[in-house]
A and B are shown apart, each in its own frame.
Chain A
């Protein structure tokens, strides 16, 4: 027969373990949310011909190869690259942006060191004029493509730009 003391203690101990289980579960969810938020995140936005295309940070997690956009020849493309430092310490890195045709580098657009304070952002902007980019070996009535490669800390983000030929569209 259980004494009054043990009879009182057992359900309390039982509830203690249940409470701890719930606490561990909630802590696990909190780690998922907190860790998911923290880190370095990059967002790339392109604007051309009244169209804005934004590549969210989650995109690079799912598919770290490339994103793509398109425009007509002669149009300008405005790029905005945002680095979001969601960490308790400052972050610094070298950011390089270049235009590539296949495996051949065409030109450097940006090469600069960035330093971002904790929980702060930095934005880099540049413009590409597609009128000046047609390769000499591609006839004017053909479309062409080039890549804008953003390199940061050895991580490459590639935006493939498809340029529609103006001559072909008019013809």
Chain B
């Protein structure tokens, strides 16, 4: 059971790392305004996601 959680954890970390890497590669080609808007949207996204998990009871 614990091993499964560890494997899930690794899977999630690798997924996030992969998405983060692809995003970082793509962000290089965005304009400065695009990068700023993307940053603000990302902050908003994680804020709302955090709030959602807080409400769910995590």
Dominant SS at the B interface? helix
Which residues on the A side are within 8 Å of B42 (C-beta)?
A: 24, 28
CA distance A18 to B48 in the complex (A): 7
Are the C-beta atoms of B48 and A10 separated by less than 8 Å? no
Select from chain A the residue with minimum beta-carbon distance to B35: A35
The answer, yes or no, to whether B11 is at the interface (CB within 8 Å) is: no
CB contacts (< 8 Å) of A10 on chain B: these are 55
Give the contact-size bracket for chain B.
Answer: 10 to 19
B37 near A21: Cβ-Cβ < 8 Å: no
Chain B residue numbers with a CB within 8 Å of A38 are 31
Q: B residues bordering A, Cβ < 8 Å?
A: 26, 29-31, 33-34, 37-38, 41-42, 44-45, 48-49, 51-52, 55-56
Q: How many A-B residue pairs have CB under 8 A?
A: 49
Query: Once the chains are docked, how many angstroms separate the CA of A61 from the CA of B33?
Result: 18
Q: How far is the CB of B9 from chain A (nearest CB, A)?
A: 22
Q: Which of A11-58 contact B (CB under 8 A)?
A: 13-14, 17-18, 20-21, 24-25, 27-28, 31-32, 34-36, 38-39
Query: Which applies to chain A's interface (DSSP): helix, strand, loop or mixed?
Result: helix
Evaluate contact between B41 and A28: CB separation under 8 angstroms: yes
Given A20-B44, A25-B45, 18 more A-B residue pairs with CB atoms under 8 Å apart are A10-B55, A14-B56, A17-B49, A18-B52, A21-B48, A21-B49, A24-B41, A24-B45, A27-B41, A31-B37, A32-B26, A32-B30, A35-B30, A35-B33, A36-B26, A36-B29, A39-B31, A61-B29
